[in-house]
Chains A and B, each alone.
Chain A
Amino acid sequence: MKTVDLVERIEGEAKLICSWKNNKVSDARIDFLNFRGFEYILEEKSPLDALIYTPRICGICGQAHLKATVEALENIYENINEKIEISNKAKLLRQIGLNIEIIDSHIKWFYLFIMPDIIKLNSSDLGIYAPLKGKRWLEACKTASETIKALAIIGGQWPHTSYMNVGGVMSDPTRMDLINMQNYLQIAIDFFEDSVSGVSLEDYLSFDSLNDLEKLDKDMKYFKDLCFKYHLNVYGKSHNRFISLAESNLFRSGKIKQKIVNKIDLSKIAESNEYTFSLNEKENISKKHTWSKLVTYNDNFFETGPLARAIISNRRFIKELHKSFDDSVFTRVMARVDEMAFLINDTKSLISQIDLLENSFIKPKISLNDIEKASGLSVVEACRGSLYHKIDIENGKIKAYDVITPTVWNLGPSNKKEKGIAQKAIIGSPNIEIAKIVLRSFDVCSVCTTH
């Protein structure tokens, strides 16, 4: 038997096609049928205009795209041996902006996209988690909108600011601005302690064993109990291989396939169009079924995202959960919520490291519009995992722009050799509700996947 379901309440929409055998999913395919053509739109544009365009690939992770663009453009200078100086202050302000956006995204994802489905497994009465009505749903929304103000202080607004520019950042905060940012982050900490985990942030950050699961209270406890009741600690397992491309204060880069290797060679990343629709109608033969490309590292599929980051960066609580429950729905969701705690804590510390006397922006000596031919690339850890941008410029214009989003790693189609990450995870699900939750556990962003 085959079923086709539309999955809404992700960022955008996907089509989930499942084959069933003995009341279990025996095969799964995910189709993304919406394509906006950003890579084509960017051709022939002025390189700096990419700073305006690429954040608009996605309404929720625009800062990740912005940071990827600005760093790929700066990499062009390095590649032509033109020295370009970025102050530490600018680097910090970029990372802080990105972190705040990830915190905002994780809060929304857990409460708006995950909890309503998990609770529906148990009863149709969502209570405080009911969308648009429930007390906690509204609190989560409020917390996200307060937290994002910390980013608006340096970006002028959110979503869709382009405050990062080649040479630094455009804003120049005052000390009071920084204090204000800390205060908005405190609202996220209070919410985490009072409603998400039910324990103090300090206690939570010290969790390092399976027994610590028992200390959880509030929504994480509720989530955990429902997961165990409905076996979400068993469902959703994929290849158990992880990749994280970019480094930050909090994250290490590396990959894991049995053991962790901390050296990443970006040239081993390969994108394929084999199953992806083409602009040229004649090429759209029957095996092409989605607008998502597929991406491999050294010819293997790897899962990217908070779970990959937690394991590669050696965050002990999640590593312990992973030892017992592998890459299940439970571990994957817990990794994302766990990351929220670490990010809030880390971001507060980054803000305190800013030296206001440094320059925010140092103008590059030559303009990108005057560069005859060069390329640049960058990697950034975004909400949903590793994001890769590559820009080729010719005669001062963008010749080609390649974006590989985290969701392409996780949600792209299978190849001849093996199943894609989310596909493999969905196989074995006992019903469509669970299959959709497994899909959702990857924090699906349809708009990023196809871009």
Chain B
Amino acid sequence: MNEKKPTVVWFSAITCNGNTHSLLSSNSSKFELFLKNFDFIYHGSLTIDKSLEDIIKNQEQIDFLLVEGAISSNQKFFTTSNDSTKNILEKLVQKSKYLIAVGSCASFGGIHAKFTQNDDVCGLKDAIEEENKKKLKHPIINLSGCPVHPEWIFQTLFSLKNFKEISLDDEGRPKELYGTLAHHGCTRNEYFEWKIEGNFGQKEGCLFYNQGCRAPMTHSSCNKILWNDINSKTRAGMPCIGCTEVDFPRNNMLETKKNMGIPLEVPLGISKRAYLSISGVAKTFKIDRLHKKLME
């Protein structure tokens, strides 16, 4: 291992630190593997060797700049290290090869962009000057999610380290992680197929019909790469709230908007008419097994 390890810098902008705690809650073997393969030189909450000022003043390049949180030029509401998040970000970007947005706030502005009195809160893509974007070796990578799944960070970093590039979707997210829907791998899929509605607090039934579950419309691998190695929201009984998408957070997230008993939005890629036909047919099957409790 004589080869110089690539450097990683984590900058926390306008955030709740949820992505940091997601990282710390990762699989510990993977976390240690990450620390062995990368030189994690700065994180405002974790490291003690250098300050953010040291990183900015240092001549050395940053290989991977990870940013948690939304960006704003407004110093009235948000000052960190005596500067605006936008100014610090611009300085860091000029030294970096790859720029990775960790979480939905850094990707798209997220919850913090809903604070309308601070009117320029946004994600990285909208915050950075075009000329600085050009200095990067790769388009900005958006690892959206509120928070980001720690495994998505590791897989992205290791991919870039080994292959230098990664294939992105229209929202700048890695296709391999966001190409499928949160619905993929949900243990309630059979209830979805046969249109059997679920309720809160039950193991049985699908949460799409009444509880606002966005899993059939949300690009993420939450049910393929499980959270904390063991679970997902929909498996546990909480509807997907679509936190990896540009429009998160939406209104009335815990209920399904309907018109005459039919969900207003249907699974991605299906016309509403086709969805209604197939639902009608599916409902005619009365599958006793699925109408019973899984265990008494």
Contacts and interface: CB of A to CB of B under 8 A. Distances in A.
B237 A171 contact: yes
A302 B292 CA distance: 54
A132 B202 contact: no
A362 B146 CA distance: 28
B252 A447 contact: no
A159 B16 CA distance: 11
B251 A49 contact: yes
B238 interface: yes
Interface string B70-114: 000000111111100000000000000000000000000001101
A170 B117 contact: no
A51 B234 CA distance: 16
Interface in A50-97: 51-53, 56-60, 62, 90
Interface string A355-387: 000011111000000000000000000000000
A162 B114 CA distance: 19
Contact of B147 (A9, A34, A126, A159): A159
A156 B77 contact: no
Interface string A169-207: 111101000000000000000000000000000000000
B228 A6 contact: no
Contacts of A162: 238, 241, 254
Contacts of A363: 199-200
Interface string B1-37: 0000000000010111111111011111001100100
Interface string A371-415: 000000000000000000000000000000000000000000000
| Interface size of A as a range | 35 or more
Contacts of B18: 56, 58-59, 62, 159-160
Nearest to A145: B25
Interface residues of B, number: 69
A108 interface: yes
A158 B115 contact: no
Contacts of B51: 6, 8
A213 B88 CA distance: 46
B98 to A, nearest CB: 20
Nearest to B52: A8
Given A8-B44, A36-B115, A138-B32, A49 B16 contact: no
Nearest to B19: A59
Interface of A: 6, 8-13, 33-38, 40-41, 45-46, 48-49, 51-53, 56-60, 62, 90, 104, 108, 112-113, 116, 120, 126, 131-133, 138, 141-142, 144-146, 148-149, 152-163, 165, 167-172, 174, 277, 279, 281, 359-363, 447
10 contacts: A46-B251, A60-B17, A132-B40, A144-B24, A162-B238, A165-B254, A172-B203, A281-B76, A359-B201, A447-B16
